[in-house]
A and B are shown apart, each in its own frame.
Chain A
Amino acid sequence: MRLKTMTAGLALATAFGVGAALAADDTLDIVFINDGHVAPYHVAWLTGFEDAIAAYDKAFADVKVTGRWLSAEGSLEKMIQQTEVTINEKPDVMFVNAINVDAFEPLVAKAQAEGITWIAVHSPMESADYSFTLGDVVNGTNQGMAMCALSKGEPFQVGVMLGQAGNPSGEARREGILKGIATCDNVEVVAEQPADWDTVKAQTIAENWFTQYPDLDAISGVTDGYMYPSIAIATNSGKTDIQFYGYDGDIPIIQQMENGQVMADILLSGTREGWNFVQMAYRIHKGETPDKVYDFFTPLVLTEANHKIALEHGFPEDVQVYYVPEALEVAAKGYLEFGPDSVK
């Protein structure tokens, strides 16, 4: 399918005359190899990436921008095979969200020998040309401190839902959240349990917490994927006063902020990140050199009213906060921050 569209595109370009034919001379081929494709975040990420490829290709007549993403479906064997095959195809830039960075060291060398720019995603790699990270610990700390401030010094019980045991992103987020919560005395972590990025499991855990800790005030999670099922079960069980603290910046979760169920979220937004990848690949292709370890800009999201309350209760003023309308807009429209216009 994709090949057909590509050939069709090429044919069209030739048909449109000499200018277009010249345009095909400078090409930017980007491959994004991800560990999965099922989580809502992945879906938004890959969608943003594909949309951005099309937008950049259209916006810049002098470069032919192409790209594709591959999912390793959680298997390291598959990811290594996909990487080997991809290196063999010699794209210009490879984004690799490695399941295990150590296993990819030899492949980085191979790719660089072929002149491919290797960008390590989320888990930094010393040998990679660039590492795009998220600042998970800082983000988590912001989430935890927001909880401290919004609990207004009253006794407050929270359950924290974790990622899969041993997953680096999950561990960093957990570390940050606990660090943020530790900045006050009134918030007590009554339970911590991994939900393995699995929504059904998250719902079962939330339901069991409601019966086990009748005074539970809030659920905090390392991904918004946990928020959907937990909010559903809370609403269905009549536990409408439970607060939720999310992570990821999924649009449907940010939308739940105005009604007071979701209190805080971290604006990664898969869509934004997908657009950012293409923008950065384009910049690098044009000769720019970003920092070797590049932290993606991920602000905390609150409602304006809650931000005011939080500031009154000791929330640090220097933490950058996006309010809901702004967060929703940039989350949905990755091109606002990272589109072709931002480069021109």
Chain B
Amino acid sequence: MPDLGRLLREKNIIFVTLALALVFYLISPRFLSLDNMSAISRQIVPIGLIALGQFFVVVSGNIDLSLGMGSVLWAIVLGVFFGLTGGVAVGIIAVIVFSLAVGFFNGVMVAKLKLPAFIVTLSMLFVAQGLSGLIIPRGQQIFLMGGFFKFVGAEKFMGLYWSFLFLVALYVLAYVVYNHTRWGAYVIAIGNSEENAKLAGINVDRVKIGIFMFSALCSGFAGIILSSRMGFVQPGLDGNGLLLDGIAAIIIGGVLILGGRGTIGGAFWGLLFIGVINNALNLLNVEDVWHQVFKGTVILAALGANYVLWQSRQVEAH
């Protein structure tokens, strides 16, 4: 009964997240206030975008380490174009075009030239870090004023932030693509076995390139939302923290890192879990030094748990 295992895994994380929320509520009643809920919904958007991009990469059996630092670079690209032209549209188009180009480059390196994904994306992480400081004249801040940034950063629709609605819409879209299109099936097939996928006549290279382009585009979106929320950009933002949170979200959400397994719903619940934890650690004034310990442990535990669940499913299946 493979479905049972999958269901159990998803239910686990839902249960754990809700239980945690209840505990935090008992400690600090403000936790469940409407204001705080909406604060969480806004804080998780950049992480959620990066997690979604990473989801497809990981399900296909790879990893993209450049997503976090990439989103910092994209925020700055937006700022630089906005600063130069005063136009938002040019900046957005630049971010979309450049991020797709970087994704294409990563994809070609991995799919066509068979370079290991983590090395390619690790070098891109450093390239992005370098560029983020080099493209701003003398490294100064650029302020982002105007209707668009206010809209993305702060406007609500029926009590929900537009940026959060955008995130949810993207997850719904990803759900449909992942579960109900041939492309989604290809991603899973490649993650299960690249050779079998090739034998089945799937154009593996093209799908892989597409995956990396999508993940880079997601980091582009994350950069746009990050910069709108901040109201200014500058080099030196913590991109690697975003990367870790994104990976933590999908692993907690039950994505098996060996590839081929994972659900969009699970990833979304993993994201909520990370959002609740980040917010609560903050509200409860937990010292910052503990955050990393906590995250490292949670990722390791989730890795182990996924492995055990997967093993037991293998046994059931036989």
Selected from A196, A199, A200, the residue in CB contact (under 8 A) with B288 is A196
A167 to B43 CA separation, bound complex (whole angstroms): 27
A203 to B231 CA separation, bound complex (whole angstroms): 11
Whether the pair B39, A211 counts as a contact (CB closer than 8 A) is yes
Whether the pair A212, B231 counts as a contact (CB closer than 8 A) is no
A151 to B76 CA separation, bound complex (whole angstroms): 38
Interface residues of B in 134-158 (CB under 8 A from A): 138-141, 143, 150, 153-154
Chain B positions within 8 Å of A211 at CB level: 30, 33, 35-36, 39
Chain A positions within 8 Å of B195 at CB level: none
A141 to B296 CA separation, bound complex (whole angstroms): 39
Whether the pair B141, A236 counts as a contact (CB closer than 8 A) is no
Chain B positions within 8 Å of A40 at CB level: 140-141, 234
Q: Which of A97-105, A226-234, A292-300 lines the interface with chain B?
A: A226-234
A236 to B154 CA separation, bound complex (whole angstroms): 5
Give the nearest-CB partner of A36 in chain B: B236
Give the nearest-CB partner of B285 in chain A: A193
Q: Shortest beta-carbon distance, A33 to chain B, in Å?
A: 17
Q: Shortest beta-carbon distance, B236 to chain A, in Å?
A: 3
Chain B positions within 8 Å of A210 at CB level: 35, 39
CB of B232 within 8 Å of the partner chain? yes
Interface of B is mostly: helix
Chain B positions within 8 Å of A44 at CB level: 140
Selected from A43, A229, A232, the residue in CB contact (under 8 A) with B139 is A43
Q: B246-285 CB contact bits vs A (8 Å, 1 = yes)?
A: 0000000000000000000000000000000011001101
Give the nearest-CB partner of B138 in chain A: A47
Give the nearest-CB partner of A73 in chain B: B236
Interface residues of A in 173-206 (CB under 8 A from B): 191, 193-194, 196, 198-201, 203-205
Give the nearest-CB partner of B234 in chain A: A40
Known: A199-B237, A200-B237. A232 touches B232 (CB 8 A): yes
Interface residues on chain A, size class: 20 to 34
Interface residues on chain B, size class: 35 or more
Whether the pair B154, A237 counts as a contact (CB closer than 8 A) is yes
Q: Shortest beta-carbon distance, A317 to chain B, in Å?
A: 36
Chain A positions within 8 Å of B35 at CB level: 210-211, 214
Give the nearest-CB partner of B144 in chain A: A232
Q: Shortest beta-carbon distance, A282 to chain B, in Å?
A: 23
A205 to B150 CA separation, bound complex (whole angstroms): 20
Chain B positions within 8 Å of A336 at CB level: none
Selected from B150, B283, B287, the residue in CB contact (under 8 A) with A208 is B283
CB of A62 within 8 Å of the partner chain? no
Q: Shortest beta-carbon distance, A270 to chain B, in Å?
A: 11
CB of B179 within 8 Å of the partner chain? no
Q: Which of A191, A201, A208, A235 has the most CB of B within 10 A?
A: A208
Chain B positions within 8 Å of A231 at CB level: 231
CB of A6 within 8 Å of the partner chain? no
Q: Shortest beta-carbon distance, A116 to chain B, in Å?
A: 28
CB of B70 within 8 Å of the partner chain? no
Chain A positions within 8 Å of B28 at CB level: 212
Give the nearest-CB partner of B36 in chain A: A211
Q: Shortest beta-carbon distance, A188 to chain B, in Å?
A: 16
Q: A231-260 CB contact bits vs B (8 Å, 1 = yes)?
A: 111011100000000000000100000000
Q: Shortest beta-carbon distance, A109 to chain B, in Å?
A: 34
Chain A positions within 8 Å of B36 at CB level: 208, 211-212
CB of B289 within 8 Å of the partner chain? yes
Chain B positions within 8 Å of A129 at CB level: none
Q: B interface vs A, CB < 8 Å?
A: 28, 30, 33, 35-36, 39, 42-43, 133, 138-141, 143, 150, 153-154, 226, 229-232, 234-238, 241, 278-279, 282-283, 285, 287-289
Q: A interface vs B, CB < 8 Å?
A: 37-40, 43-44, 47, 165, 191, 193-194, 196, 198-201, 203-205, 207-208, 210-212, 214, 228-229, 231-233, 235-237, 252
Between-chain CB contacts (< 8 Å), 20 pairs? A37-B133, A37-B139, A43-B138, A165-B289, A194-B288, A196-B288, A199-B237, A200-B226, A200-B237, A203-B230, A207-B39, A208-B279, A208-B283, A212-B28, A212-B283, A228-B232, A229-B230, A232-B232, A236-B231, A252-B143
